[in-house]
Amino acid sequence: MGCACGGTFTDTFDGCGSCCNSCGQPCTTLDPNNETLPSALENFTLEFFGAVNKSVVDGKIVWSLPCDLAVGLPENPRLPEEGLACYFLRLFLTGIVGLTGQAGQNGAKGDAGQNAYAFTTDAFAQPDASCPDIMVTVTNPGLFSTDAIVFIPGSGYYSFVSASGNTIFLHLVQAVTAPNPVIAPGAIVLVSGPVGPQGAKGNKGDPGQTGAKGDKGDKGDKGDKGDQGDPGTNGTNGTNGTSGILPYQFNVGAGTAYSLTGSYDAVVFGTTQVDALALTVGTYELRAVVTVVVPALTTITGISAKLRNTTDGADVPGSEVVLATPTAINDDRQIVLQGVLVVASGSKTVKIFMACTGTGVQTVTSTQTTLFVHQIA
């Protein structure tokens, strides 16, 4: 508090309640209802801001506010050139954004999904634009949803309409080029994307070189028309052809454990081996689906499988599949093997071979093994 004469107030009072100051004159008694302006400003600044650090910067007195009031809250910072009153008003109107909390725990592992494909179990005639609706029996009808686009190799693209039991109802969208007149059982049915638009026409290629002109041949004389000959005798009937191999599937349910080693060998789950026997002259489409579980983890680094022609001691081309190392006990792993076998002579047998990579022996148990064989030529 300043004295009337400009001196500094000192905290001494006489016995009559008057104070003495450096001016040598008594000052008036302090009255809270008549606080001087400098005192009021000092008290307001201290109570509102707290202790303010003041410094001189470029010839100006600059205040440094406590509690990071100059920058504001971490999730609600002050805007450039925004005063404290405007800052507080904005917080009151828009609310204060809280700090980001810690990440929660991971949720429980979801149920295993179903296969993304199905197979036909009965033959059906190829539809056309005049009669585009068909019904087909399949192995996995729950895979499809309304208006889903379905693709059947050798037939075309269809729109899924509905299902009843194992029968699905389809509407032909676009047939493949030269579709098969009859689609045999065992055809794969895939959920597909919609048929894309036709691509832009490519640039015209450069013309080829003109070939050399051949010599013109002499024109022959027209012969006289001969007399009609006598009818020949009927030929002998030909022998009946051998029956073609129809598509079939060989299922093995839950079997006993089988130990894989570092060398390929035919797998036997339980007492039944999954074989394709007596494949005679022809071309065959082979597809095997093996679902295995790992009852215990070892030091192996992977599991591999393939289809093998044991009659000739040769692998079915392109059928080998390698899986990553199992990471958990009883972890379901589905292995899909497929390839094409051409039998030029004799009779062949195809088996499923499996092995493990790395050191040690890996034991696996089959929950379902299916081998499909389809003679395509």
Provide the pairing of β-strand 362-375 with 248-252. antiparallel
Residue 237 — very low, low, confident or very high, per pLDDT cuts 50/70/90?
Answer: low
In a domain, 85, yes or no: no
CB 56 within 8 A of CB 62: yes
- Check whether residue 172 and residue 265 sit in a common domain: no
- Check whether residue 178 and residue 286 sit in a common domain: no
Q: Phi-psi bin for 181: left (phi > 0), alpha (psi -120 to 50), beta?
A: alpha
CB 26 within 8 A of CB 4: no
Q: What is the rounded average pLDDT for all residues in the chain?
A: 81
| Domain extent at residue 261 | 248-375
In a domain, 108, yes or no: no
Domain count of the fold of the chain: 2
Domain termination residue (choose one: 192, 225, 256):
192
> pLDDT tens digit string along 294-311?
777 776 767 889 999 999
Residue 253 — very low, low, confident or very high, per pLDDT cuts 50/70/90?
Answer: low
> pLDDT tens digit string along 70-111?
888 888 888 988 888 898 888 888 888 777 778 889 999 888
- Check whether residue 183 and residue 255 sit in a common domain: no
Other C-beta atoms closer than 10 Å to the C-beta of 150 total 23
Whose tokens are 């149920």? That residue is 111
What percentage of the chain exceeds 90 in pLDDT? 25
Enter the DSSP assignment of 360: S
pLDDT value of residue 16: 40
Residue 62 has pLDDT above 90, yes or no: no
The upper half-sphere exposure of residue 286, i.e. CA atoms within 13 Å in the direction of its Cβ, equals 31
Domain termination residue (choose one: 174, 192, 210):
192
pLDDT value of residue 317: 93
- Check whether residue 371 and residue 273 sit in a common domain: yes
Residue 220 has pLDDT above 50, yes or no: yes
Residue 245 has pLDDT above 60, yes or no: no
Q: Which of 141-145, 358-362, 363-367: highest mean pLDDT?
A: 141-145
- Check whether residue 260 and residue 371 sit in a common domain: yes
The three-state secondary structure class of 142 is: helix
Question: Which of the two residues, 327 and 167, has the higher pLDDT score?
Answer: 167
Residue 364 has pLDDT above 70, yes or no: yes
DSSP structure string for 158-208: EEEEEEETTEEEEEEEEEPSS--SEEPTT-EEEEEPPPPPPPPPPPPPPPP
pLDDT value of residue 242: 45
In a domain, 148, yes or no: yes
Q: Phi-psi bin for 6: left (phi > 0), alpha (psi -120 to 50), beta?
A: left
- Check whether residue 269 and residue 339 sit in a common domain: yes
Residue 14 — very low, low, confident or very high, per pLDDT cuts 50/70/90?
Answer: very low
In a domain, 257, yes or no: yes
Mean pLDDT (whole number) for 164-173: 95
In a domain, 7, yes or no: no
Domain termination residue (choose one: 146, 173, 192):
192
Q: Interior CA angle at 340 toward 338 and 346, to 5°? A: 130
In a domain, 272, yes or no: yes
DSSP structure string for 10-79: EEEE-TTS-EEETTSSEEPPP-GGG--HHHHHHHHHHHHH-SPEEEEETTEEEEE-STTTTTEETTEEPP
pLDDT value of residue 309: 92
pLDDT value of residue 4: 44
- Check whether residue 254 and residue 166 sit in a common domain: no
In a domain, 79, yes or no: no
- Check whether residue 344 and residue 258 sit in a common domain: yes
Residue 166 — very low, low, confident or very high, per pLDDT cuts 50/70/90?
Answer: very high
pLDDT value of residue 12: 45
| CATH code at position 332 | 2.60.120.40
pLDDT value of residue 171: 96
Mean pLDDT (whole number) for 44-67: 84
> pLDDT tens digit string along 193-208?
877 777 888 899 889 8
Residue 149 has pLDDT above 90, yes or no: yes
| CATH code at position 131 | 2.40.33
Mean pLDDT (whole number) for 42-63: 85
In a domain, 203, yes or no: no
Mean pLDDT (whole number) for 228-232: 78
